[in-house]
Amino acid sequence: MELICVKSKMTSINGKAVSLLDVLACVVIEEGQNYINLGYNVKVLLRDFRYIDIKRTTFIRINMNIPNEFGSVFGIDDLESDLTLSVKGRTKGKGFTGAMKRYGFSGLSASHGVSLAHRSLGAIGSRQDPGRVWKGKKMAGRKGNIIVCLKSVRIAMINRFTKRIAVYGSIPGGINNILHIQQRK
């Protein structure tokens, strides 16, 4: 079973940090032999669900027996609190960053002889052989804004009345980030 959630905020329960996730109303708009197409609206939570004006769709491969008839709504009623989740989301983007911020390099020394190159990368190539820069060299570039999947995330609490899930730890992305949650066995 897959749910689409919005990260609302972080808080603590019994001294442990938890992330609160609001479940969105997801409707099956297309069904196939081993896939379904879910439609959702970011502004319609599952507790406010009367009708849904579909703004976005997502494609999900299924390999187990879940309700996938046209118009069926996915909810958290089938979610069990003793199982773990797999959470997939997009991380925060940090923009174009240097090598020190991107990879945690220490930089060059700040003593005599280093002229305005304290935060630079240093030498990037070898000698005449190979005479080029190796592929995959850690250099400055864009940091973040990638899709990350966290596995074995434990559920702290499920509130079926407010349609909110609390999971232990931090979740990728900022507030109002779209997350895809799958139940793991």
Q: What does the block give as tokens for 44?
A: 């319609």
Residue-level pLDDT at 71: 66
Amino acid present at 37: N
Residue-level pLDDT at 145: 93
Question: pTM (2 decimals)?
Answer: 0.74
* C-alpha–C-alpha distance, residues 124 and 134, integer Å: 9
* C-alpha–C-alpha distance, residues 144 and 89, integer Å: 12
Residue-level pLDDT at 38: 75
* C-alpha–C-alpha distance, residues 151 and 182, integer Å: 9
Residue-level pLDDT at 80: 77
Q: What are the extents of the domains in the chain?
A: 2-93+143-184
Give mean pLDDT in consecutive 10-residue pieces for the chain, a chain of 185 residues.
Answer: 78 91 79 74 61 69 63 72 88 93 88 82 85 92 94 90 88 87 79
* C-alpha–C-alpha distance, residues 109 and 117, integer Å: 9
Question: Quick one: CATH architecture of 2-93+143-184?
Answer: Beta Barrel (2.40)
